[in-house]
Amino acid sequence: MKSWLTTTDHKRIGLLYFWTAFGFFMIGGLEALIIRAQLVRPDGGLGVSAETFNQLFTMHGTTMVFLALMPLSAAFFNYIIPLQIGARDVAFPRLNAFSYWVFLLGGLFLNASFVAGPLFGADRLSVAPDAGWFGYANLTSRQFSPGPNVDFWLLGLQILGIASLAAGFNFVVTILNMRAPGMRMLRLPPFTWMTLITQFLVITAFPVITVALVLLMFDRFFGTHFFLPAGGGDPILWQHLFWMFGHPEVYILILPAMGIISEVLPTFSKKPLFGYTVVVYSGVVIAFLGWSVWSHHMFSTGLGPIADSVFAGTTMLIAIPTGVKIFNWIGTLWGGQIRFTTSLLFAVGFIAMFIIGGLSGVTHASAPSDLQQTDTYYVVAHIHYVLFGGTILGLFSGIYYWWPKMTGRFLSERMGKVHFWLTLIGMNLAFFPMHFSGLLGMPRRIYTYSADLGVARFNQLSTIGAFLIGIATLVFFWNLLRTRRRPSNAPANPWGGATLEWAISSPPPVYNFTVIPTVTSRLPLWQTERHAPMAPLPDRPPAPIHVPGGSWWPMITAFGLPIIAIGALAHLIPIVLAGAAVVIVGIYRWAYEPFEM
């Protein structure tokens, strides 16, 4: 127990990230199921009240984006990246632990809002954030959202931002600076590359939302008018700041998944990644362009024809590097010896589904056509094809791929296939009809709709699909759980992968590599035209390897942050100060604690 609380081992932290994020995914999914149950019929299927419904979709979006998908990717960053680059750990192991604890506490803080009502003299289920995951001003002002709901949201996101930023710096340095000898940048495995790009997006995009949230906080707590027309402010500035972060954020969510399938496809088709350099550079281009498109979320705000044209144009450009990736993946499969493992199925599913989401994205990119689509279920369809059909399928692929490495135990392939097909059918049933309900006039974020709209049938299909996904997810959950009772018999390289993580035992020893390998090719474990596979590493380290002990301070420091947030929430300065004191003491003790790598 203590060893888990104080751990600074990237592998353990990776597992902590995984289980925590998976838990939040179930919570976010449960919220989605309630949303779907409510919408199964016109005029309210489940009798969920408008207020509760607004909390549900806000928390669903926020949870999925910040508490499920980002940290699920982070689970792989943590576990896999140091192994792939041949390192003993990340650059800053304690900072890494800190990121995890901050993430966990931030997530708990956000979700505590569901039950915190009584503390504010309100009912349970009444003070959770309820202004949507992008919290448009001026609905979020004290005047229109008087309760603590939006405070929970903005403080929670601030906390989570700290976790992401800390992890961002950590992984930038880890990937750039901790590579094994010979691991040149263009020999990095594609997953590591996409992670690096993602982290650059994190450290540049998160400061912007930090500022936006600070300004919002000043509006709400101190009576400024940053986003309030009454004092000359402009609610549109919020939208610019949010989407300047928000659009890079969606690539933060997809790039790691793209990296994962760029590992899975070569392994299971026994062919190197087609066009490796192009795939890498297209990732860079996507990230770069990703910074220039944010206003495509604001076509209906009246930006004027010139800005509309510019942002429509830049948005469409992103289809090119993305398409390049897709074609290279198909090129990888082409001519290979494809083994249809669950992992591969999910990877192929990713490609198939992401194309649909990407293409509906292009219909959004056309500003005038988006005027009929924005804020309807058509957008909801888009986001779920890219986020579920893309990111989640990609992450599932990664889980089936790396689970034996992470635990030494195989997931059942039989159940995996059930999981895959149920998920694929479920998601199409859930999200494809949303294209229709949207274009037929169903706005998003409505807890009820009129039977006369004629969209009831589509909503029924969506609901059935959502519950199919739910069942699929339960199958998967069961599959995960039962591996604990299965033998720990996974060999070092069960799938015949080419990258360094497969050179060591499953699960790897604490110190990872008995000796740090020297890398001479992009596919160190494979026989290629010019390179023989790497010689196996010795079974035992030639000299004892010193592994740093754990540390309490990352966790203790992390605890200061929610304390500060609680103080702010309750308008109690002493609590804020107490939290700040915890942070400061934590940082000092941390800085002066002996800690050897």
Partner 1 sequence: MLRGAVYFDAVPLVLALLLLFLTACSGQFPQSVFEPRSDFSTELAGLFTNIFWWAVGVFVIVETLLLIAIARYRARPGAAEPKPVHGHTALEIGWTLAPALILVFIAVPTMRTIFATAGQAPEGALRVEVIGHQWWWEYRYPTLNISAYNELHLPVATPIQVEMTSADVIHSFWVPRLGGKRDLIQGRTNRIAFRADSTGEYWGQCAEFCGASHANMRLRVFVQSDSAFQRWVDQERAAPATPAKGSPAEAGLQVFRRSACIGCHTIAGVAQGKIGPDLSHVGGRATIAGALFPNTSETLHRWIMNAPSLKPGALMPPQNLSPQDLDAVVAYLQSLK
Partner 2 sequence: MTHGSTHATSMGVDNRKMAFWAFIGSECLLFGSLIATYLVYKGRSLVGPYPHEILNIPFTSFSTFDLLMSSLAMVLALAAVQRGDMKQGKLWLFVTALLGLIFLGGQFWEFSHFVHEGLGLTTNLFGSTFYVLTGTHGAHVTVGVIWLLTLWIQALRGKLGPQNALTVEITGLYWHFVDVVWIVIFTVVYLIQ
Partner 3 sequence: MTEQTGAHATTGTYLRIAAILVMITLIEVGVFYVPAFQSVLVPVLLVLSAVKFTLVVMFYMHLKFDNRFFAFLFGGPLLLGFAVVVSLLLIFYGAIRLRTGM
Could you give the CA distance from residue 314 to residue 69 in angstroms, rounded to a whole number? 26
Give the shortest CB-211-to-partner 2 separation in angstroms.
Answer: 4
Q: Which stretch binds Cu ion (CB under 5 A): 214-222, 242-250, 329-337, 565-573?
A: 242-250
Smallest gap from Cβ 258 to Cu ion, in A, equals: 16
CA distance 390 to 358: 10
**Rounded to an integer, what is the distance from CA 588 to the centroid of its chain?**
31
DSSP 480-529: HHHGGGS-----S-TT---SGGGGS-SSPPTTS-SS-----SSSTTS--S
Q: Which two structure tokens, joined as six digits, stand for 300?
A: 């209906």
Q: Does 63 help bind partner 3 (rule: CB under 8 A)?
A: no
364 binds Cu ion (CB under 5 A): no
Q: Of 247 and 384, which has the nearer Cβ to Cu ion? A: 247
Side chain identity at residue 443, one-letter code: P
If contact means CB under 5 to 8 A according to the sort of partner, which of partner 2, ligand HEA, partner 1, none does residue 50 touch?
Answer: partner 1
- Smallest gap from residue 517 Cβ to partner 3 (A): 22
Closest distance between ligand HEA and the C-beta of residue 189, in Å?
21
Shortest spacing between CB 281 and partner 1, in angstroms: 10
Identity (one letter) of the amino acid at 554?
P
d(CA 58, CA 362): 25
Q: Which is nearer to partner 3, 230 or 306 (CB)?
A: 306
Our CB check for partner 1 shows the closer of 170 and 332 to be: 332
286 binds, among Cu ion, partner 3, partner 2, none (CB under 5 to 8 A by kind): none
528 binds, among ligand HEA, partner 3, partner 1, none (CB under 5 to 8 A by kind): partner 1
Per-residue interface string for the shown chain with ligand HEA, residues 532-571, x marking contact by CB under 6 A: ----------------------------------------
Question: Shortest gap between Cβ of 306 and partner 3 (angstroms)?
Answer: 7
Could you tell me which of 545, 557, 558 has the C-alpha nearest to residue 108? 558
Rounded to 5 degrees, what angle do the CA atoms 377, 62, 68 make? 105
Distance in angstroms (rounded) separating the CA atoms of residues 466 and 500: 38
Are residues 171 and 258 in contact, defined by beta-carbon separation less than 8 angstroms? no
Residue 308 CB, nearest distance to Cu ion (Å)?
Answer: 14
Query: Taking CB under 8 A as the criterion, which residues in 224-253 touch partner 3?
Result: 234, 237, 240, 244
Give the footprint of partner 2 on residues 486-545 (CB under 8 A): 516
> Alpha-carbon distance 590 to 586, whole Å?
6
* Cα diameter, the chain: 76
Residue 54 preceded by cis peptide, ω within 30: no
The region of 75-83, 199-207, 265-273, 364-372 touching partner 3 under the rule CB under 8 A is 199-207
DSSP 531-565: -PPPPPPPSS-SSPPP-----SHHHHHHHHHHHHH
Which residues, including other chains, have CB under 8 Å from residue 228's CB and lie 6 or more apart? 137, 138, 141, 143, 219, 235
User: Which candidate, 35, 51, 33, 216, places its Cα nearest to that of 134?
Assistant: 216
Secondary structure class of 80 (helix, strand, coil):
helix
**Residue 159 within binding range of partner 2, rule CB under 8 A:** no
Q: Are 264 and 217 in contact (CB under 8 A)?
A: no
**β-bridge mates for residue 443, sequence order:** 376
Q: Which of 209, 303, 422, 566 binds partner 3 (CB under 8 A)?
A: 303
Per CB under 5 A, the list member of 12, 94, 247, 405 interacting with Cu ion is 247
Check: CB of residue 302 under 8 Å from CB of residue 531.
Answer: no
* Smaller CB separation from partner 2, 206 or 410: 206
Q: Are 499 and 523 in contact (CB under 8 A)?
A: yes
Binders of ligand HEA among residues 398 to 437 (CB under 6 A) are: 430
Tokens of 349: 């599913």
464 binds, among ligand HEA, Cu ion, partner 3, none (CB under 5 to 8 A by kind): none
* Contact footprint for partner 3 (CB under 8 A): 172, 176, 200, 203-204, 208, 234, 237, 240, 244, 291, 295, 303-304, 306-307
* Contact footprint for ligand HEA (CB under 6 A): 26, 29-30, 32-33, 35-36, 57-58, 60-61, 64-65, 69, 132-134, 250, 253-254, 296-297, 315, 318-319, 322-323, 326, 355, 358-359, 361-362, 364-365, 370, 373-374, 379-380, 382-384, 386-388, 390-392, 430, 444-445, 462, 466-467, 469-471, 473-474
